[in-house]
Amino acid sequence: MEAHYRLLVRWNERLNLTSIRTAAAAVERHYCESVFAAVALASYPAGTRIMDAGSGAGFPGIPMGIVRPDWQILLLESDERKGVFLCEATYQLANFDVIPKRLEVISGQFDLLVARAVRPVEVLAAVPRLAPAVAMLLGKDDAAALGTTGSIRWDDPIQLPWGARRHLLHGRVPRETSV
């Protein structure tokens, strides 16, 4: 993760990957949130296929895949330059693939779709088509709104331990609505 951070800082000088500029803020907001998600989703077994939709700088996918090298992580990013960054950031990690495309055009089947810092509605629209489960790192208000809508059966939101404003929301698509 340290190597990823150093690369992120270098690339962020020319390509806006994150607005967070200090190491302390990056650790809390990016890395700790992502590692928290990996730990909270620990019941997913080895070999789990995860798509990180709108991966951007690689969050939450890269820290999740570092913590769980037995998971297969697809980093999906529509911005081709960010996709190049993701390829460079993961080239020595065997459990990662990068696809520089939009979520709407992706096909395939995954076990879990994860996202943070993307429009939740776009991710949720793709879930029944791509995966039977979804996990999203969201602000408290977004988590509360999503937890009461849609065809996904949501678990109770999990508040991140270092503040009341961020939550992990995990849910499953009922079998009768899967595509």
The residue range of the domain holding 37 is 2-177
**pLDDT tens across the length of the chain (179 residues):** 999 999 999 998 888 887 777 777 778 788 999 999 999 999 999 999 999 999 999 999 999 999 999 999 999 999 999 999 999 999 999 999 999 999 999 999 999 999 997 888 889 989 999 999 999 999 888 777 776 656 899 999 999 988 778 899 999 998 764 44
How far apart CA 122 and CA 163 sit, in angstroms, is 26
CATH label of the domain that carries residue 82: 3.40.50.150
How far apart CA 65 and CA 34 sit, in angstroms, is 10
Per the structure, the count of domains in the chain is 1
31 in Cβ contact with 63 (< 8 Å): yes
Which one-letter amino acid corresponds to residue 9? Answer: V
> What pTM value is reported for the model?
0.91
